Every structure is written in structure tokens, then in C-alpha cells.
Amino acid sequence: MKYIKKCKTGIGYRKLLKIHKSEGCYDDTKNDNSKIPKVTTRTDILNDLLQEQGFICAYCMRKISVENAKIEHIIGQSYVDDEGNSIGRLEDTNYDNILAVCQGDFCLQETHCDNSRSKYQNNKPLLEISPLNEPQMKHIKFTQSGKVYYLALDKETTVNDTLNHILNLNCDAMIEERANIIKAVKRSLSRYKFNKRFAQKQLEYWQAKNSTYKPFCQVAIFELQKHI
């Protein structure tokens, strides 16, 4: 998980803004029986989300595309506040409430990201952490074994519960992938005797977006920042 800055400049954002103001629906594939391929509003929105995220999942940082990405709502669509207001429904078309995420199928039998979260929607329709929250993202860390965790005084227990259980970002396959990246980074640094100039160049390499981020890039960034 890494910080995502909303751009709000694309076609999808402008379309969604109009829909949000009119309380409409962005899924214009519903009730459409035509077999003619077309760029839908949903596709335009996904394109905007993917471009600002560098084509990686907002939660696990796997590589994603329009073909396999899903639209995720930070405030769950089923969320109703204590006063009975259907906040989730009202925020359904708010661009500041949506992300692009993967299919949650990296860990074989286990689900993760949005697919795992869906099991908890009724009891926990609000996430304790958001990749749009820059201060929170500064407290995301990784162990040498590849586990992701949150280290801060604020909401540490609840956020780590979200990472571990609700989003299931510490499933075995995900941990292994992150551990391999950390090992590769350390091998590379070791060859250059942990030279700070080399570490800086490597950091710039992993930070570079160039339209797409490298999968699991924040893992390498976190490790490299220790050596600069």
C-alpha cells in the first residue's frame, strides 16, 4: 500500500462528477443488451484511477489493468451512520471515495483486498486506513520476512487488524513476494557495498512512475530509504 494522490483531470472524473451531482449511476452497461464494443463510463473512470495509481492495486500493489481491475469504495456502499443516513449510497459516485483494486486472487485459496473485505462489509463497512491518507501511508512498514504492518500511536491496533484480516494483505503468497523484493534489493546494495549514491539511484528507479509503477514498489522504496 502506498500513497495515492487524486488527479481529478481525466474524462472519467468529469463524467463521474456530473453523475454524482445528479445522483445517477456510473455503470452504463446495465440494461444494455447491445453486443457492440464501446468505451463505457465505468471504463473511463477505471482509466483515470489506474493512471493516478500507476496501474497497481491500491491495496496490495499488484499490477492491474482495465481488463482485470475493479472499482472499490473506501466507504462501503452499505454503510449507514448512527442516525440512519445511507452514507455509503451517497458516496457511491464520489471520486474521492473510489480506488482501483485487483481481483484478490493472488493467494490461491485465500482472497485479499476488496474480495476479502466483502466478507466484513456488514460488520465493518468503514476501513480504518486509506491509501489516500498521506500521513497514514507514512506509517506503513514491512518486516524483513515480507509482512506489512502499521506503526503509529493512532489506531495502530485497528489498522493492523484491517491489514491482516479485513484486507488479508499478509497471506503467504503476498508475504513471499514482498520478502523476495527485499532480498533482491539487499543483494543489489551488497554488491555495491551499500553505497549511498547507488542506493539513491535505486530509490529513484523504484519511485519512478513513467505512467506505471513497478509492482510492490513501496516495499523496495521502504527498504532503500534505510540506506540513504
User: Which cell numbers hold the place of 61?
Assistant: 500493489
Q: What's the pLDDT score for residue 185?
A: 98
Give the start-to-end residue ranges of the domains of the chain: 11-225
Q: What's the pLDDT score for residue 124?
A: 77
Tens digit of each residue's pLDDT (9 = 90 or more) over 73-89: 999 888 888 888 888 88
Any long-range contacts for 207-210 (C-beta under 8 Å, 24+ apart)?
Answer: 209/54
The pTM assigned to this predicted structure is 0.91
Distances (CA, A) of 145 to 123, 149, 172: 31, 12, 11
Residue 31 pLDDT exceeds 80: no
User: Which cell numbers hold the place of 107?
Assistant: 493467494
Q: Return the bridge partners of 142, or none.
A: 148
User: Which cell numbers hold the place of 89?
Assistant: 449510497
